[in-house]
Chain A
Amino acid sequence: MRRFIDSHAAWGLLLAAGLAFPWATGNDYHLTVMSTAYIFAIATLGLNLITGYTGQLNLAHAGFMAVGAYTVGILTVDHGWTFWGALALSGAVCVALGWFIGIVSLRLKGHYFSIFTLCVGYIMFLVIEKWESLTHGTVGIMGIPAPEPIGALAFESPLALYYLMLAFLVLAVWVMRRIVKSLLGRTFIAIRNGDELAEALGINLMRNKVLAFQLSVCYAGLAGGLYAGFVRFIGPGVAGVEHTFDMMIFMLVGGLGTVLGPLLGALAMPWLTQSLQFLQEYRFIVFGPILVALVIFLPHGVVGSFLAWQARRDAKEGKPHAQD
């Protein structure tokens, strides 16, 4: 049972829990909370690729999510596209936009990159809010159609939508694990460890950073597109930087630079927030100290700290550990 946490069995168990969830609750409200968590989990996985694996904290992530959401909103409502066609384009638009923003912003390093992207995110928000003829401004876009049926599968009920979001999350996790475990993932990790050394090892910094950035915002764009089809109403608030900070918290709680960590963070934190709802505004008095304690005592997050402990134990026994 060693290395259980990263085995097929563990991932299978997690999937089974996701599949069984609707029977456990049977309550539409819970399904909606969980589906929203899945959407944000997809975006968080993307943010984790550029931040956790490549070492560049992109604070415009929610902006890209909004670009994806508005791509679906505008194309379906104003131009009569189908949801599926618009969703495909939401990822593509973010990849293209990510290239332009990437080649400019990734010239900066460390905090400078983060501050620059913070500004980029705010500009995205302003453009969405002010460009009324395209985005409907502060009114937002209403009446976004639900995803069209695929064959006999209709996506009208919360239950069907729940499974649709779960399917996308499974796909997102599968692709992400492929990327980070490959030579490409190792290339990103080398850049995170130290870009001077990475460069000396023959890694083209700019090309790889831009690629990681594009993949990352592609996840954000698709998550945004799904969000538009799920909530069926979007406003400029989607681009708000507080969404990026939420995703950062998900990553930190779970563990930066792991796939499971940000995923569990993104799934667990909304429930924690929900359960503290009765405290209203005061919930941050409880929430803040929990976060501070976590960052002090588990600096690599719950999953990250567990993996580090396991790796150390394996190393003591002279056995290859999970990554090997």
Chain B
Amino acid sequence: MLKIDRLTKKFGGLAAVNGVSTTIEEGKINAIIGPNGAGKTTFFNLIAATHRPTSGTITFGGRDVTALRPDQVARLGIARTFQSTTLFDHATVLDNLIVGHRLRTRAGLWDVLRGSSLLREEERVCREKAREALDFVGLSHIAHRLAGDVTQEERKRVAFALALATDPRLMLLDEPAGGVNPEETEGLAALIRKIVRHGITVALIEHKMNMIMRLADKILVLSYGEKIAEGTPEQIRRDPAVIDAYLGSEHAEV
């Protein structure tokens, strides 16, 4: 689905991502792991076009998307979540989600000034999408709570819902379970599986090894911006380079 070829990003003299080639496989959970500063988030920023790569290409569904803007990439169906989600804390959760489907609408200033039927219809669709997404992530009971008042775990789910409202084909999740307790992590893992069951491909960055090993179909390991291993959780667990660079030998028997 997403093909990455010799992707490199240099910040000054530092290569944050260095010649990484991989594929994100359709309908699977693709995990990206690596020590802090390995270039994981930069890697996501490149896919989502927040950063322009120094060299290399990204192909999404057969189309070269390397030179697109973030909003264009989003419109093609790549959604992402961030480590922290900037919501409007004084508005309700539902209100925050309505804008999520904006990229599939066309109403412009003229429709707004005239109050056109297109605008009314699109506002209805956006609201419906927001409700659906909220249902999907299991938060319909807090639809009318203020975004500033929800728990960390609920906020993570709201971020998922926001990404889902864009009708994505691929979702990039940056530490979806960061700062969340073990039971809640389990719940979020179940939600990620549910997303994949509904035909959306997932790529995620995560530090929680237990979660990754049970959840991922495929793991890519980055270290100092370079790919050091790639494979199933079973293969990664046994890979000596990974054990050396990242997990540490005490994890070898886990």
Contacts and interface: CB of A to CB of B under 8 A. Distances in A.
Tell me whether A and B are bound partners.
yes
B115 A178 contact: yes
A190 B103 CA distance: 12
Given A184-B108, A189-B88, A311 B103 contact: no
Given A184-B109, A196-B82, A323-B92, A202 B166 contact: yes
B102 interface: yes
Contacts of B87: 193
A305 to B, nearest CB: 10
Chain A interface size, under 10 / 10 to 19 / 20 to 34 / 35 or more: 35 or more
A183 B105 contact: yes
Contacts of B103: 201-203
Contacts of B107: 182-184
Interface in A296-324: 300, 307-308, 311-312, 314-315, 318-321, 323-324
Main secondary structure of the interface of A (DSSP, over half): helix
B190 interface: no
B55 interface: no
Nearest to B93: A315
Interface of B: 48, 50, 69-71, 74-75, 79-80, 82, 85-88, 90-92, 94-95, 98-100, 102-103, 105, 107-109, 112-113, 115, 119, 122-123, 126, 144-146, 149, 162-163, 166
A196 B107 CA distance: 22
B48 A186 contact: no
A211 B109 contact: yes
Nearest to A178: B112
Contacts of A202: 71, 74-75, 102-103, 166
Query: What 7 A-B pairs come out closest when comparing CB atoms?
Result: A202-B103, A194-B86, A202-B74, A199-B70, A186-B99, A182-B112, A190-B99
Given A311-B146, A323-B95, A324-B94, A197 B71 contact: no
B204 to A, nearest CB: 15
A200 interface: yes
A103 interface: no
